[in-house]
Amino acid sequence: MSSLHPSLTLPKRLSLSAQAADTIRKGIFDGTWNELLPSERRFCEMLQVSRPTIRRALHLLAREGVIDIRQGRRNRLLSPCARTSVWECRLIVLVTAQVVSQMHFVVYQGISEMRAHLTEHGFATEILVCPPGNARGQQRRVEEFLRQNRVLCCVLLSVSKSLQEWFSAHSVPALVLGSCHPEVKLPSLDIDQRSVCRHAAGTFLGLGHRQLALVVPDSGVAGDLASEQGFLEALEQRSSYGNARATIVRHNGSAQDIGARLDRLFKDTPPTALLVAKPEHVFIVIIYLLKRGLSVPDTVSLIARDQDHVLETVSPPISHYQIEADTYPHRLSRLMLKLVSQGALASEPNLIFPKFYAGATTRRLV
Amino acid sequence: MSSLHPSLTLPKRLSLSAQAADTIRKGIFDGTWNELLPSERRFCEMLQVSRPTIRRALHLLAREGVIDIRQGRRNRLLSPCARTSVWECRLIVLVTAQVVSQMHFVVYQGISEMRAHLTEHGFATEILVCPPGNARGQQRRVEEFLRQNRVLCCVLLSVSKSLQEWFSAHSVPALVLGSCHPEVKLPSLDIDQRSVCRHAAGTFLGLGHRQLALVVPDSGVAGDLASEQGFLEALEQRSSYGNARATIVRHNGSAQDIGARLDRLFKDTPPTALLVAKPEHVFIVIIYLLKRGLSVPDTVSLIARDQDHVLETVSPPISHYQIEADTYPHRLSRLMLKLVSQGALASEPNLIFPKFYAGATTRRLV
DNA sequence: TTGCTCTGGTCACATCATTTTCCCAGTAGC
DNA sequence: GCTACTGGGAAAATGATGTGACCAGAGCAA
């Protein structure tokens, strides 16, 4: 957990590009140039830095609306009225469809620490809750908020695919927390569900299990799709387990539906190992099994994909995957500080590999 | 030949270590610490940089003659500058025996928002984790911390009774989060477990149940003691339910112990209604009942005393008590702002009354 | 029109700073 | 003695920056 002494100001960690941007911006406001700016190569000599650095700086200014960049032409100053307001914009917005109380602990912890760090660096943060379901309504709400407030960048948490696409198409930089849809080009921070599920299936196979099943909500979110992918991959990769079989059990989250689908599964090809995606479904599954006379882990082994406090404190403790206490907050803070200082992030997923926590619900098949 | 316009200052190109050294030096001269500096690893968290960077910074300061570095010992200030008496102490410390990841969501949420508010008002916050178990060790750790840092006030979260007493006897103002022991005179913010359990017992009685039981950890913390009290009170108050009987099942938290004690209970006076104090024990109890052939809510009704996300998302949803989303953070922030602005709070409990959330695990006894 | 030369756009690669992850040795308190 | 914490230190991974080269569009002049 981070803590700040009153008199301590954090090292700014300003990248060279940001410093160069500051210098140039200052020159602009001092009226050093009018209309046309020096060329990139000229700036390199003046500021004694390399061209990529100058380029990042200039594009930062372009994003602030201070200058206009077009290939082949000299960079131009924009009219003063267009530029003054953006400069002071230090507001970061968390756009989410979830109410705070429904968030996973790790995510909320990450967001809290991120806010603390950003506050220490002089940024303001705000949470914008968009009611889920109505995609167009979400979008309108975001657009209206962005029109009324100068926003530096956004963090997207469990928002609809269309909203992700909207951000990808517009100029406001954004970081996606959790699953970013494959077609959407945005930077994201997520747990590597695919590797997790591949590893879980591998663990089961190593323990002698041959009939595996993945119990996963039919949500369509990218994380769950990746889970299915990884789960199946484990069997494809290991040709030595030719007789092994993996089933995907997609459900809608209700106990009725889960029960019905497990009924079908157990009648057809009764599995001896279950990987359950959501913590809350773990208990539904265990209760279902008990009602059927099956016990965990005596007859069926079980692994939970996600982490939850209850999974550890219950007994027998449930095998699951968890991430180091500080990695998520840490990586999130780092990414955001990078985003606000550089103005943009690479549009690629940042993945976290959880560690396997061996509880007492996984057993070698005898 | 580079010609530099007078108004343009070159980007500084300061290394991170140098920036960190500046920060620490400033902290030293401001009198943030006396005698001993925080450890290198502690600085890493505080300044959000890696250890080699901090090490370079500290060795820079050592070369300047500001500090003394020796292996194995804490780094010392060489010429401890007299603290200026004007130096206003604005540090607020959260003393807790729990690691952050083990906290209840509501509590962590409250703490996070409190920290945000305090930061906005110019206060700094820090978390001091005292390992549980060793009461004397806790106390020494707190004393040492308070000797090394100027602390404005403290927030106590799930600390031992003796530590509560220590704060009550000393001059550092403190607010207790959660259960304050009856003999200790400190202000506290807590959920009114006594009323909750009284209400739960009343609800069971109103549904026709006559054999009630409260499953509660034998922790000795005040909240659990108050729970027992309230649970029993409900029966005393209602003379019309003369034949009703309430049993307290104190356990140590393990599934074995809970099972054994429930075994005895069901052999003796089988209850039809259970109030379970901790969310994680709810599932242990339900699984126990199922193994025994008893089903919730068909044969046994169940209410959870505390709130947890899983209780709502599981199905059937489990009846429990919950507080309005913002009340806890709100009340906590208000109390702390009052504490820091007035210097003290009335030494009385501030109680929050949760609302009953009717799930599908409570049923009229037929 | 044709070519020259300026502009920014982009890539591969080298270099350096920083972070991460270890393990070691000394100190203090039990 | 032990344990837990401190600083000491190095190898490897990561990331930021610098270098050089080449491309494509813009503007200008012959």
d(CA A189, CA B243): 59
pLDDT above 90: residue B46? no
Instruction: Write the pLDDT tens digit of every residue in B318-364.
Output: 999 999 888 999 999 999 998 988 888 888 889 999 999 999 999 89
Q: Which of A306-310, B210-214, B219-223 has the lowest mean pLDDT?
A: B219-223
Distance from CA of A227 to the nearest CA of B (A): 21
In this complex, do B45 and A115 lie within 8 Å of one another by their Cβ atoms? no
A334 touches strand C (CB under 7 A): yes
A52's tokens:
């990529």
Beta carbons of A255 and B115 less than 8 Å apart: no
Please, are residues A19 and A341 in contact by the beta-carbon 8 Å criterion?
no
pLDDT tens string for chain A (366 positions)? Answer: 444 444 466 677 778 888 888 888 888 888 888 778 888 988 888 888 888 889 989 988 888 788 888 888 889 888 665 555 444 567 899 999 888 888 888 899 999 989 988 888 888 898 999 887 777 888 888 998 988 887 888 999 988 888 888 888 887 889 999 878 878 888 889 899 999 999 999 999 999 999 999 999 998 788 899 999 999 999 887 766 668 899 999 999 888 899 999 999 999 889 999 999 999 899 999 989 988 889 888 999 999 999 888 888 887 889 999 888 888 888 898 888 888 877 778 888 888 888 888 889 998 987
Give B365's pLDDT tier (boundaries 50, 70, 90): confident
Query: Rounded to whole angstroms, what are the CA distances from B25 to A8, B17, B33, B42, B77?
Result: 9, 12, 11, 16, 11
Contact between the CB of A122 and strand C at under 7 Å: no
**CA nearest A223: which of A178, A168, A254, A268?**
A178
A286 contacts in chain B (CB < 8 Å): 283, 287
Average pLDDT, chain B: 86
Check whether residue B71 has its CB closer than 7 Å to nucleic acid strand C: yes
Per-residue pLDDT, A202 = 93
Of B12, B126, B283, the CB nearest to A19: B12
Tell me the pLDDT tens digit for each residue of B60-94: 899 888 899 999 888 988 875 555 444 466 789 99
* Nucleotide closest to B15 measured between CA and C1': C17
Mark yes or no for CB contact B109/A108 under 8 Å. yes
Cα(A200)–Cα(B60) distance, integer angstroms: 48
> Do B277 and B217 form a contact (C-beta atoms < 8 A)?
yes
Q: How many CA atoms lie within 13 A of A226 on its CB side?
A: 19
Q: Please give the DSSP secondary-structure letter assigned to residue B319.
A: P
Given an 8 Å threshold on Cβ–Cβ distance, is B105 in contact with A109? no
304-333 on A, CB < 7 Å from strand C: 330
**Nearest residue of B to residue A30, measured between CA atoms:** B7
| DSSP symbol at B81 | P
Asked if the model's pLDDT at residue B109 lies above 80, the reply is: yes
The predicted pLDDT at position A326 comes to 81
Q: Which nucleotide is nearest to A341 (CA to C1')?
A: D16
At B4, the pLDDT band (50, 70, 90 cuts) reads very low
Instruction: List all residues of chain B from 229 to 258 with a beta carbon under 8 Å from chain A.
Output: 253-256
CA A333 → CA A140, A195, A336, A341, B143, distances in Å?
Answer: 28, 24, 5, 12, 32
